[in-house]
């Protein structure tokens, strides 16, 4: 369902710096066709992108995972990881048509090793 091969080629200068404990997540595009070759309507793809639970960590704020009481074992993720989080979480915005979210460090539910295999239930 997710097109995880196409991370946006947006220059770092255009991307905002996440403040404090925030993490900048790039949202994957939803595939235009199902695995069986059926085209997904634009409105369905838009709903799936909005409710997405998977993203690519692009940047981390300078305080992300620094709270030793909250994160005694260290960071839950790092730049370059595919991560899972709750639908509709974070501040959503687009740059050059690509959706991003800024989420809190404790919003990350897990790191995903094979992002292509995930589907939102």
Kindly report the pTM of this predicted structure. 0.80
Under the banding of pLDDT at 50, 70 and 90, the label for residue 97 is confident
Structure token pair of residue 92: 């959503």
Outline where the chain has alpha helix (H).
42-50
**How far apart, in whole angstroms, are the C-alpha atoms of residue 116 and residue 104?**
24
Provide the total of helices (H) and of strands (E) in the chain, helices listed first. 1, 8
Q: What digits encode the pLDDT tens for the residues 42-88? A: 665 555 655 578 999 999 999 999 999 999 999 999 999 999 998 88
1 confidence band (pLDDT: 50, 70, 90): very low
Q: Quick check: 26 pLDDT over 90?
A: yes
Q: Report, at the CATH architecture level, how domain 2-117 is classified.
A: Roll (2.30)
Domain segments of the chain as ranges: 2-117
Please tell me what DSSP assigns to residue 39. Answer: B
Mean pLDDT of 1-22: 74
Cα 61 to Cα 19: distance, rounded to the nearest angstrom? 5
């Amino acid at each position: 369902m997710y097109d995880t091969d196409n991370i946006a080629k947006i220059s770092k200068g255009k991307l905002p710096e996440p403040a404090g404990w925030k993490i900048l997540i790039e949202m994957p595009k939803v595939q235009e066709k199902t695995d069986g070759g059926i085209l997904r309507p634009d409105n369905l793809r838009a709903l799936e992108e909005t409710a997405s639970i998977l993203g690519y960590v692009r940047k981390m704020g300078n305080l992300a995972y620094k709270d030793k009481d909250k994160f005694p074992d260290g960071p839950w993720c790092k730049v370059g990881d595919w991560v899972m989080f709750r639908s509709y979480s974070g501040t959503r915005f687009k740059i050059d048509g690509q959706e991003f979210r800024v989420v809190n460090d404790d919003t990350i539910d897990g790191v995903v090793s094979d992002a292509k295999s995930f589907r939102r239930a």
